[in-house]
C-alpha cells in the first residue's frame, strides 16, 4: 500500500508512535510518505520505502499566523496525487485530521481514505477546550476510520464527544530489536561510580507530567537509597523542577540532560522509571522503559493501568501521592532480588503484549478494510 502519515515531528509520544509505525510499515514493504513541517525526530536514518515531504509555510502580511492546516492539506493533496496514496493517516486530531479531511475533499475524483489516531491530549486537553470541541468532534466523525491508543481513551472520547462511529483501540508498541536492555554497566559506573541506583524520568516536561512530583519522590527515596535521578527531555516545567531540586538541596544528584536521542542507552543504565502524570492515555515511555528492563512507578491514571501491571512490572499509586511512590521505590531499590524479578517481568510483559509484530497487522487490517 501507499500510505501517507502526518504527525508532529517534535519530541512527543504521538510523533514517536507515528514514526515507529511508518518505519515498521516500510520494513513490511509498504511505501510510507511522512508529511510534516520538519523531519520527525526519530526518523534519523535512511530506510527503504520511506519518503519525507516538508510542508512549507506561506508568509503574507495579512496572515497574523501562518496557516499550517491549509499548507498541510495542500501538501497532502499534492503528495496523494503524485504518489497514488491509498491512505492518509493523521496522528493527533488537531490539526492533522482536519488537513487530511480537506485533502480528501479536494481530491473528489480520487479515492483517498483517511484514518485518525487519537493519542491523548488531543482529546483530554485540546479537544475539551470549548473553542475546539466542536471541530474535534466533527473531525472524528468525518474520518473514514478512527483508532485510539488505549481503552481508556476510547471510552473517554465516546463519553465526551458525540461520536457516530466505532473507535478501534490499538495499543502502542515497541520494536524489540531496538528496545532491549544493553550492557551499559561501564558507562553507568564511569558516570556515577559503583553501587549507586539510577532513577529516570523522560518526558516533554509539560504541566500534565507533574514534574515536581518526580523531584519530590526522588527526594524521599534518596534519603534511604544511594541514588541519582536522570531527567531527560525539555519543556515548560524544567526551570521549576530545577529550582525545586535546588531548594531541596539535592541538585548534585539530579541531572537535567535535556533532549536525548539514545533513550535505550539511558534506560539500560537505569533501575527505576517515575511517571507521575495527572493523566496519560497510554504512557508509551513506560512501555519503552519496561522493554528495557526498567520497572515503573506511575500514577494510577488514564490508560497507564493498561500498560503497567501493579505489583509485577512496577506500582500504581494515587496521583500526587509521592510518599507511597517513594515507599515502593525504596522497597524495589533496596532489594536486589525483587528488582531483578521486576525487571524480568517488565520485559516479559512488554514482549508478550506490545510488540510491533502483534500490533502492526492491526493497522494494516484497518487500511485494507478501507481500500477494498
Interface ranges with ligand GMT (CB under 6 A) = 12-15, 17, 92, 119-121, 149, 172, 203-204, 208, 279-284
Q: Both ends of the chain: CA-CA distance in Å? A: 12
Q: Give the list of residues 6+ apart from residue 293 with CB closer than 8 angstroms, or none.
A: 181, 267, 268, 343, 344, 346, 347
| CA-wise closest residue to 277 among 208, 229, 364 | 208
Could you tell me if 282 and 306 are in contact, meaning their C-beta atoms sit under 8 angstroms apart? yes
Which residues, 6 or more positions from 264, have their beta carbon under 8 angstroms from its beta carbon? 178, 179, 180, 182, 292
Cell of 29: 514493504
Q: Which is nearer to ligand GMT, 210 or 328 (CB)?
A: 210
CB nearer ligand GMT, residue 101 or residue 282: 282
Q: Residue 221 or 317: which CB sits closer to ligand GMT?
A: 317
Least distance between ligand GMT and beta carbon 70 (Å)? 22
Cα torsion for 350, 356, 358, 364, to the nearest 10°?
150
Least distance between ligand GMT and beta carbon 96 (Å): 11
Of 168, 93, 128, 132, the residue nearest 279 (C-alpha): 128
Name which of 266, 223, 215 is nearest 242 in CA terms: 215
State the minimum distance, in angstroms, from the CB of residue 209 to ligand GMT: 7
Please state the closest distance from residue 63 (CB atom) to ligand GMT, in A: 26
- The nearest distance, CB 152 to ligand GMT, in angstroms, is 9
Distance of alpha carbon 314 from alpha carbon 224, whole angstroms: 19
Measured from the CB atom, the residue of 92 and 192 that comes closer to ligand GMT is 92
In the complex, minimum distance from the CB of residue 178 to ligand GMT, in angstroms, rounded to a whole number: 17
Q: Is the peptide bond before 95 cis (omega within 30 degrees of 0)?
A: yes
Q: How far is the CB of 219 from ligand GMT (least distance, A)?
A: 24
CB of 246 to ligand GMT, least distance (A): 25
Look at residue 231 and give its three-state secondary structure: strand
Asked whether 281 and 160 are in contact (CB, 8 A), the reply is no
CB of 97 to ligand GMT, least distance (A): 13
- 3 vs 149, beta carbon nearer ligand GMT: 149
Sign of CA dihedral 21, 349, 185, 232: positive
Cell numbers 527503504 correspond to 48
Name every residue whose Cβ is closer than 8 Å to that of residue 191 and which is 6 or more positions away in sequence.
269
Nearer to ligand GMT, 233 or 295 (CB): 233
8 A C-beta contact, residue 218 and residue 274? yes
Nearer to ligand GMT, 107 or 264 (CB): 264
C-alpha cell of 32?
Answer: 510510507
- Is the CB of 119 or the CB of 216 nearer to ligand GMT? 119
Decide: 285 and 262 in contact? Cβ < 8 Å.
Answer: no
User: Quick one: 135 or 330, whose CB is closer to ligand GMT?
Assistant: 135
Amino acid at each position: 500500500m501507499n500510505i501517507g502519515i502526518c504527525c508532529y515531528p517534535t519530541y512527543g509520544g504521538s510523533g514517536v508512535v507515528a514514526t515507529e509505525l511508518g518505519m515498521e510499515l516500510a520494513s513490511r514493504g509498504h511505501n510510507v510518505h511522512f508529511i510534516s513541517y520538519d523531519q520527525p525526530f526519530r526518523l534519523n536514518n535512511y530506510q527503504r520505502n520511506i519518503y519525507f515531504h516538508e510542508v512549507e509555510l506561506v508568509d503574507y502580511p495579512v496572515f497574523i499566523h501562518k496557516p499550517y492546516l491549509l499548507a498541510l492539506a495542500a501538501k497532502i493533496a499534492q503528495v496523494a496525487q503524485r504518489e497514488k496514496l491509498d491512505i492518509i493517516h493523521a496522528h493527533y486530531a488537531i490539526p492533522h485530521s482536519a488537513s487530511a479531511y480537506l485533502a480528501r475533499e479536494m481530491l473528489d475524483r480520487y479515492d483517498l481514505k483517511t484514518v485518525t489516531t487519537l493519542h491523548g491530549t488531543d482529546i483530554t486537553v485540546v479537544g475539551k477546550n470549548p473553542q475546539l470541541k466542536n471541530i474535534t468532534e466533527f473531525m472524528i466523525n468525518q474520518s473514514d476510520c478512527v483508532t485510539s491508543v488505549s481503552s481508556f481513551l476510547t471510552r473517554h472520547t465516546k463519553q465526551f464527544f458525540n461520536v457516530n462511529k466505532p473507535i478501534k483501540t490499538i495499543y502502542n508498541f515497541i520494536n524489540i530489536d531496538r528496545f532491549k536492555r544493553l550492557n551499559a554497566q561501564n558507562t553507568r559506573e564511569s558516570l556515577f561510580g559503583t553501587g549507586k541506583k539510577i532513577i529516570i524520568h523522560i518526558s516533554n516536561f509539560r504541566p500534565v507530567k507533574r514534574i515536581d512530583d518526580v523531584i519530590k519522590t526522588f527526594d524521599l527515596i534518596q534519603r534511604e537509597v544511594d541514588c541519582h535521578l536522570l531527567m531527560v527531555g525539555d519543556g515548560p516545567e524544567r526551570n521549576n523542577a530545577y529550582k525545586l531540586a535546588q531548594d531541596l538541596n539535592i541538585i548534585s544528584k539530579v541531572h537535567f540532560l535535556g533532549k536525548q536521542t539514545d533513550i535505550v542507552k539511558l534506560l539500560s543504565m537505569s533501575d527505576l522509571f517515575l511517571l507521575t502524570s495527572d493523566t496519560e492515555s497510554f504512557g508509551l515511555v513506560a512501555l519503552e522503559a519496561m522493554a528495557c528492563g526498567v520497572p515503573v512507578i506511575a500514577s494510577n491514571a488514564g490508560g497507564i493501568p493498561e500498560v503497567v501491571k501493579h505489583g509485577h512490572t512496577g506500582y500504581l499509586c494515587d496521583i500526587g501521592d509521592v510518599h507511597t511512590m517513594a515507599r515502593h521505590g525504596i522497597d524495589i531499590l533496596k532489594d536486589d532480588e525483587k528488582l531483578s524479578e521486576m525487571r524480568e517481568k517488565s520485559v516479559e510483559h512488554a514482549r508478550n503484549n506490545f510488540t510491533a509484530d502483534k500490533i502492526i497487522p492491526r493497522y494494516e487490517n484497518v487500511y485494507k478494510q478501507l481500500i477494498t
